[in-house]
């Protein structure tokens, strides 16, 4: 099944990014903060009763839940699971893996999977970076990162997920021809992503000018994005292919 149909850049370039965005840091990436949040009774029950069925244990060596017969897709930070559940429904022959640290979001996704009787999704509930480092090369056909925490304050930006070291890891995990799709509604973070990923060996920007792309066909309009639109935030989409 093809991935998405992607065209050229439709958005103008924005401010140049500082060279620091391209520097590799060997400090482990900690791109999230575990917030208490509110979890509903139904979500908590879903975690207790349903998570064992769909969970990938990130502490054990990789074993493909689908025995190597399906192309594999990974969404990092799936939020409430709205996009991942829809994607799994539209690609029933794919293996769709979602990673999320926040329990309410995992519970919400589990409830969606139960409602739709979807069985081609598996969940990593925890710090995805540690788990990704244990995976074999060229495992994934597609990686999706949508609206990661922008850490807008200057002193916080070292926490941003898309940094040079992490970009190299993503490149390693993609199969040749595989796609890396990203979206953010923070202009400065979009430019940092573009600078870092354009400079990452093995990744090729789908836009011939090295810029942004139209939203991919597989990306649905989520509640988070609709909120951003109401606030007047433009969304910047990026797509990269793994070279041969």
For the domain that residue 167 is a member of, what is the CATH number? 3.40.50.150
**Residue 185 within any structural domain of the chain:** yes
**Residue 166 within any structural domain of the chain:** yes
What DSSP element (H or E) covers 175? strand 174-184
**Residue 137 within any structural domain of the chain:** yes
pLDDT value of residue 152: 87
Question: What is the percent of the chain where pLDDT is above 70?
Answer: 85
pLDDT value of residue 240: 98
**Residue 194 within any structural domain of the chain:** yes
**Residue 12 within any structural domain of the chain:** no
Instruction: Give the active site residues.
Output: 149
Taking only Cα atoms into account, the Rg of the chain, rounded to an integer number of angstroms, comes to 17
Q: What does DSSP say about strands 140-146 and 203-205: parallel, antiparallel, or unpaired?
A: unpaired
pLDDT value of residue 36: 53
**Residue 79 within any structural domain of the chain:** yes
**Residue 13 within any structural domain of the chain:** no
| Letter string b/e over residues 99-111, b meaning 16 or more CB atoms within 10 A of that residue's CB | bbbbbbbbbbbbb
**Residue 38 within any structural domain of the chain:** no
Residues 82-98, mean pLDDT to the nearest whole number: 96
What DSSP element (H or E) covers 168? helix 164-173
Domain containing 112: what range? 70-242
Residues 97-121, mean pLDDT to the nearest whole number: 96
Which tokens in the block code for residue 201?
């060996």
pLDDT tens-place string over residues 165-187: 999 999 999 999 999 999 999 99
Q: What is the pTM of this model?
A: 0.85
pLDDT tens-place string over residues 43-64: 999 999 999 999 999 999 999 9
Which tokens in the block code for residue 56?
């990938």
Number of domains into which the chain is organized: 1
pLDDT value of residue 37: 65
pLDDT value of residue 108: 97
| Mean per-residue pLDDT over the chain, rounded | 87
């Amino acid at each position: 099944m093809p991935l998405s149909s992607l065209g050229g850049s439709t958005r103008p370039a924005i401010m140049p990014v500082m060279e620091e965005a391209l520097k590799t840091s060997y400090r482990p990436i900690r791109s999230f903060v575990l917030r208490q949040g509110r979890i509903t009774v139904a979500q908590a029950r879903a975690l207790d009763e349903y998570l064992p069925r769909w969970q990938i244990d990130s502490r054990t060596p990789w074993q493909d839940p689908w025995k190597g017969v399906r192309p594999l897709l990974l969404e990092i930070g799936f939020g409430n699971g709205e996009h991942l559940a829809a994607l799994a429904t539209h690609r029933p022959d794919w293996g769709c893996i979602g990673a999320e640290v926040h329990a309410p979001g995992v519970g919400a996704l589990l409830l969606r999977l139960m409602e739709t009787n979807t069985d081609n999704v598996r969940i990593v509930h925890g710090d995805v970076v540690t788990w990704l480092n244990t995976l074999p090369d060229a495992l994934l056909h597609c990686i999706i990162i949508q609206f990661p925490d922008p850490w807008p304050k200057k002193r916080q930006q070292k926490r941003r997920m898309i940094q040079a070291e992490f970009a190299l890891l993503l490149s390693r995990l993609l199969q040749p021809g595989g796609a890396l799709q990203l979206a953010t509604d923070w202009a400065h973070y979009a430019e940092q992503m573009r600078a870092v990923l354009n400079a990452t060996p093995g990744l090729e920007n789908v836009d011939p000018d090295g810029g942004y792309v139209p939203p991919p066909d597989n990306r649905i309009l989520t509640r988070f994005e609709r909120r951003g639109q109401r606030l007047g935030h433009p969304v910047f989409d990026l797509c990269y292919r793994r070279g041969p």
